[in-house]
Homo-oligomer: A and B are copies of this chain.
Amino acid sequence: MPKATFLNLAQEKKDLITDALIKHFATKPYHLVDISDVAKECRVAKGSMYQYFENKKDMYFYTIEVAYERFLQLLTKMDMVHVNILDYYENSLESVWNAMKDLRYEYMLLEMAFFSHDSPFKDEINEKFLKQSRDFLVEIIKYNQKQGFIRDDIDPLLIGIFLEGASFYMKKFIIEKALNENNTTTFELDIDYFKDAISQFIKLLKEGIAKK
């Protein structure tokens, strides 16, 4: 938890630091994040970072928490629990796209924190965030099965894993394509290509890859 010193800072400065932390922890593994780099980027003394936070781990967890909150805010806006998950993927193209645009680093950070091996705090993070997140997904799947939106002859947990994997790789592919095509920070990508890709993805999800 950040110290009071941090919380008392002007919102603008807090955001500057938070965003720098998210960016750094999102693009490098924990061990390669150099606090003095982050400090330099914020034009703040290295020591100040330790006035704001207990230690590096504190910065990391704070960073994850903020990223997670920002992400959840987006999801809760959609009342995920009571939505047809297929419709959700199908209709929310634009908003997902925008989320990925706006919360790109947050997204990358969370993926890394949850799925990469490079954190010395994997178990803690898993305990704190991941379990609820997979459980949450499984809940949605169960609800969708009960409503008859999706097939109910498959273990909801397996569907969850299937969904997570396929969609994570899909998103990663899209993000990397976007990042490669423009090294700037603008993160522009042909929206049409993206729409088309997502709609094909949905088809695969719904209908499978088998020839009919």
Contact = CB atoms under 8 A, between A and B. Distances in A.
Contact of A86 (B162, B168, B207, B210): B210
Interface string A188-212: 0000000001001101111111111
Interface in A137-179: 148-155, 158-159, 161-170, 173
Q: How large is the interface on A (under 10, 10 to 19, 20 to 34, 35 or more residues)?
A: 35 or more
- Tell me what chain A mostly uses at the interface: helix, strand, loop, or mixed: helix
B31 A29 contact: yes
Contacts of A165: 165-170
Contact of A162 (B31, B117, B169): B169
Copies in the complex: 4
Given A112-B117, A120-B32, A161 B154 contact: no
Given A31-B29, A118-B118, A208-B204, A161 B151 contact: no
A104 to B, nearest CB: 14
A201 B162 contact: yes
B170 A162 contact: yes
A128 to B, nearest CB: 17
A209 B118 contact: no
A116 interface: yes
A161 B149 contact: no
Nearest to A31: B31
Contacts of A206: 208-210
A165 B166 CA distance: 4
Nearest to A141: B209
Given A31-B31, A159-B204, A165-B168, A149 B117 contact: no
Interface of A: 27-29, 31-32, 86, 112, 116-118, 120, 148-155, 158-159, 161-170, 173, 197, 200-201, 203-212
Given A29-B29, A151-B210, A205-B208, 8 more contacts: A27-B117, A112-B117, A116-B117, A150-B210, A154-B204, A161-B173, A162-B169, A168-B169
